[in-house]
Each structure stands twice: as structure tokens, then as C-alpha cells.
């Protein structure tokens, strides 16, 4: 009996020592990371006070930057030729160049899709017209009529000898039955899951999701934006109550997006990146250009967040934000508030009710503060607004996959496109203005202590919304 007690005492002693050492190692690693003191203090208290719960949760959700992925991607993507100089009237060039992003590159044509039906016809036509390759990265591939038709087209093109690679997010496309991919695999197409829900510990963190949306056709045409693949995003407008934004383009700029897909595919599949990709070439001073703005755990800095801060600080006439979820950090809130106070017209366009109730609750406190500073808030009353766009004066426009919330800006793998061309900024401005005309103005109402407490509680989990 005493022998058994001694054995159990020894086991418990070893577990306590091992747990203590593991906690110290994790805390040391956490303190080396670039995160806010408040977030570090919260994780520190959680791991010390409730170690058996805090440590597993930290291992699952605590890491925000993945150095190994960044190092691999830097070798593949972030070593392009640099432009000789930066125009004086473009404050983004020096910052983005210092951040290591590919330079702006030439596009032969950019086409914004007017509605879901046009976007669907475009994507379907591009996929069916492929001759050599299809690289498709999407957050959600729905198990519905649109999703199944896309899989049928991919299978058909793979059987015809086209190289097909389908990159799906492990959480976003979790509900897609794996059997739906069998025909594609049998035809020679390939698929990979970006950090599946169940995965090896060193293959990323479950809360770090690939939210990018990009289709690359034959290495020369690109289709991108905020749309996932499913009925909500791509069915004709009379069948869907979702409003979204997507676009397509061709030309040398596609090379930057190909490099980005290649890096993501390499991480998800474990394969070495393909060789022989053309380097992202800088744009000339003539014609239109676009610039890929990837952000996420695979990058050393929060480039998209910092770019937004820089653009808003430099705005002189207007700032327009279109987003389904609005949960910015204090820095972005402050920049938007200061822009409004110095006379810049600041407009925020949101859905009246989004598909995430907690995000709607979380946005209220920020909107009240900004409205008090003169920011105008518009709500789309009759549809779920899923589009993501930012307009700065009449010089710059951003569109793509990132919402203006903490999860998109700090945790997700995202892809925005920066437009500088007058034609592209004008067309996107016209699309946004037509959307705003459908909206109703929002005015804050007094809220009680209970509502403020609820908002505070939801904001504690804002990173995970």
C-alpha cells in the first residue's frame, strides 16, 4: 500500500515539475512576442491561475505570428525587384517597400463585378476556359449547388489535362464532405487543407485561418475579392440577400498572386514550392497597376493594419469603409476619429444586422465614439453586406478579403488589393456610392449599464469573433 502511495506521489511530483517548467517556457516565449501588454497579462494570469485549462488554450489560440512560415514565404515572395524611386504623391510606396511587399505591377484590365450573378458567370467562364492551370484558394467551399458545380468544372478540367490545385481552409470548409473531392482526385486534380481542425501541433494553430480568396487561371488571369464559393455569395441577386464585392484582372500583376498562392500551397501540402515562377515585376509609370497586400501570421508585421493607419492619417478629403464586421483596435479608432475631427468626410457602411450577432454587439461601442466625432455610419437594411473595401480620397482604393475587425487584421491570413489607377478608384467609388444610397443613416441611442457590460464582455473575445 505504502509502495503505491509513493509511486503516485512521485508521478504527481514529476507532473507538477513538468507542468511548471512548461508554463515557464510558454511564458518566456509569450513575452518575446509582439503583443499588447494587456493581452500578455491576461494570458499570463490565465496560465498561472488555471494552468490545466490555460496552457492547452494558449497552445491552441495564443500564437499570433508563425516565424517558420514567414521565413519560408519571405524567400519565395518578398524578394522582388524594387522600383528605382517612389513618387512623391504616393505615401504608400516607401512603407510597403520597407515592409518587403512585392511592388505595384501592371494590369491590362480590371473588371469589378456589378452583382453576384456577374461574379458567378465570370468565375465559371474563367474556370471552364482554362488551358494549363487552375489554382483556387477559398475560405468556404459550400456543399450546395454552386459549390458542387465548381467541383464538377474543376474535375472536368483536371480530366482534360489541366493542372488543378484547390486550397481550402480547414475550418471555413469544415462542413464540406471529403467525399465531394474524390472525383477531382481521381481525375488528377489535387486539394490541400490549410490547418485542418485536427492536425499535428507544428502545422499551425487552429485559430489562424486562411481567409484569402483567389482564383488564378493559366498564370495570367486572376479572380479575387471577398466572395466565398456558395449560393450566398454567387447566386443571382434575386436568390440571395447577400451583397459582396469581387473583381478580375489580367496582366503581369498576376505573378505576385501566383507567388502568394504557391507559398500557401507549400505550407498546406508540405511540398516544395514550384520552380520557374516569373518574378513579380514592378509596374511602369504608364497605365494601371495593382499591388497585392497579403497580411497574417505569415508576415513579420501587421502590414494591412499599418497601411490603413498610414492612409487614414494622410487622407485629406474622404475615408470610406465598407465592411460586414467593424471591431477595430484603439489605433484605428483613433485615426478615424481624428480624421473626422480635422474635417475629413468619414463614412462607415455596414449591414444593419450581420450573420454574426456577437460582432454586431461588439461594434456598438466604437460606433458611438466615432459618431460623436462626426463619423457618419450607414446601415444596409435589406441584405447581408459581406463586401470589404476602403476608399481614401480619390487616390487609393482597397478591396479583397479582410474585414475591419481584430480577427481579420491580426489573426487571419488575408489578401487585399491596392488600386492606384484613376479608372479603378472611380469605378469602385461609384459601386460604393450606389451601395450607400441603399443604406439608412445610423444614429446612436443612449445605452444602459447592462448593455455596456454586455459589450465589454463580448469585446474581451474580440480577437476570436
3-class DSSP state of 190: strand
Question: What backbone phi and psi angles, to 5 degrees, belong to 408?
Answer: -65, -45
Separation CA 306–CA 328 (nearest Å): 12
β-strands 246-250, 109-112: how paired?
antiparallel
Cell readout for 228 is 466565398
211 is catalytic: yes
Separation CA 68–CA 420 (nearest Å): 32
From 90, 117, 143, 218, the catalytic residue: 218
From 73, 213, 259, 305, the catalytic residue: 213
Q: Give 42-65 as a DSSP string.
A: HHHHHHHHSHHHHHHHHHHHT---
Answer whether 330's CB lies under 8 Å from 359's CB: no
65 is catalytic: no
Cell readout for 402 is 479582410
305 is catalytic: no
218 is catalytic: yes
Separation CA 437–CA 339 (nearest Å): 23
Say how many CA atoms lie within 13 Å of 316 toward its Cβ: 5
β-strands 163-169, 190-194: how paired?
parallel
H/E run at residue 318: strand 318-322
From 70, 211, 259, 305, the catalytic residue: 211
Cell readout for 116 is 453576384
Q: Grid cell 480568396 — which residue?
A: 213
Separation CA 87–CA 395 (nearest Å): 13
388 is catalytic: yes
From 232, 298, 386, 405, the catalytic residue: 386
Cell readout for 160 is 482534360
- The region, left, alpha or beta by phi > 0 then psi within -120 to 50, assigned to residue 107 is beta
Separation CA 17–CA 58 (nearest Å): 19
From 65, 113, 305, 388, the catalytic residue: 388
H/E run at residue 261: helix 254-269
Tell me which residues are annotated as active site. 211, 213, 218, 386, 388, 393
Amino acid at each position: 500500500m505504502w509502495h503505491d502511495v509513493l509511486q503516485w506521489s512521485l508521478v504527481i511530483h514529476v507532473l507538477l515539475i513538468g507542468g511548471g517548467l512548461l508554463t515557464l517556457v510558454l511564458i518566456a516565449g509569450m513575452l518575446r512576442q509582439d503583443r499588447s501588454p494587456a493581452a500578455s497579462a491576461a494570458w499570463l494570469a490565465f496560465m498561472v491561475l488555471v494552468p490545466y485549462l490555460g496552457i492547452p488554450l494558449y497552445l491552441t489560440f495564443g500564437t499570433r505570428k508563425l516565424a517558420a512560415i514567414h521565413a519560408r514565404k519571405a524567400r519565395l515572395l518578398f524578394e522582388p525587384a524594387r522600383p528605382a524611386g517612389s513618387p512623391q504623391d504616393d505615401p504608400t510606396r516607401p512603407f510597403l517597400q520597407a515592409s518587403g511587399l512585392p511592388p505595384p505591377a501592371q494590369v491590362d484590365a480590371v473588371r469589378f463585378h456589378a452583382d453576384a450573378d456577374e461574379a458567378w458567370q465570370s468565375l465559371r467562364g474563367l474556370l471552364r476556359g482554362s488551358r494549363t492551370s487552375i489554382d483556387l484558394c477559398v475560405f468556404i467551399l459550400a456543399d450546395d449547388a454552386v459549390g458542387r458545380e465548381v467541383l464538377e468544372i474543376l474535375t472536368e478540367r483536371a480530366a482534360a489535362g489541366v493542372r488543378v490545385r484547390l486550397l481550402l481552409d480547414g475550418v471555413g470548409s469544415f462542413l464540406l464532405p471529403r467525399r465531394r473531392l474524390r472525383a477531382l482526385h481521381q481525375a488528377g486534380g489535387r486539394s490541400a487543407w490549410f490547418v485542418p481542425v485536427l492536425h499535428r501541433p507544428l502545422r499551425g494553430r487552429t485559430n489562424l485561418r486562411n481567409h484569402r480568396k483567389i482564383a488564378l487561371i493559366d498564370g495570367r488571369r486572376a479572380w479575387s475579392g471577398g466572395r466565398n464559393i456558395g449560393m450566398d455569395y454567387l447566386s443571382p441577386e434575386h436568390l440571395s440577400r447577400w451583397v459582396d464585392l469581387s473583381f478580375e484582372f489580367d496582366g503581369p500583376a498576376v505573378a505576385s498572386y501566383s507567388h502568394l498562392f504557391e507559398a500557401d500551397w507549400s505550407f498546406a501540402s508540405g511540398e516544395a514550392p514550384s520552380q520557374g515562377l516569373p518574378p513579380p515585376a514592378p509596374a511602369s509609370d504608364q497605365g494601371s497597376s495593382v499591388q497585392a497586400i497579403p497580411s497574417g501570421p505569415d508576415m513579420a508585421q501587421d502590414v494591412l493594419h499599418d497601411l490603413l493607419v498610414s492612409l487614414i492619417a494622410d487622407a485629406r478629403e474622404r475615408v470610406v469603409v465598407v465592411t460586414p464586421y467593424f471591431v477595430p483596435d484603439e489605433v484605428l479608432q483613433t485615426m478615424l476619429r481624428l480624421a473626422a475631427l480635422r474635417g475629413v468626410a468619414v463614412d462607415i457602411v455596414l449591414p444593419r444586422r450581420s450573420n454574426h450577432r456577437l460582432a454586431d454587439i461588439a461594434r456598438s461601442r466604437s460606433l458611438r465614439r466615432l459618431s460623436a466625432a462626426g463619423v457618419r455610419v450607414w446601415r444596409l437594411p435589406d441584405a447581408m453586406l459581406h463586401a470589404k473595401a476602403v476608399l481614401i480620397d480619390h487616390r487609393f482604393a482597397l478591396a479583397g478579403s479582410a474585414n475591419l475587425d481584430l480577427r481579420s487584421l491580426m489573426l487571419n491570413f488575408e489578401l487585399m488589393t491596392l488600386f492606384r489607377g484613376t479608372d479603378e478608384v472611380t469605378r469602385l467609388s461609384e459601386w460604393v456610392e450606389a451601395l450607400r444610397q441603399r443604406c439608412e443613416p445610423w444614429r446612436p441611442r443612449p445605452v444602459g449599464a447592462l448593455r455596456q457590460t454586455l459589450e465589454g464582455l463580448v469585446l474581451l473575445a474580440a480577437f476570436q469573433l
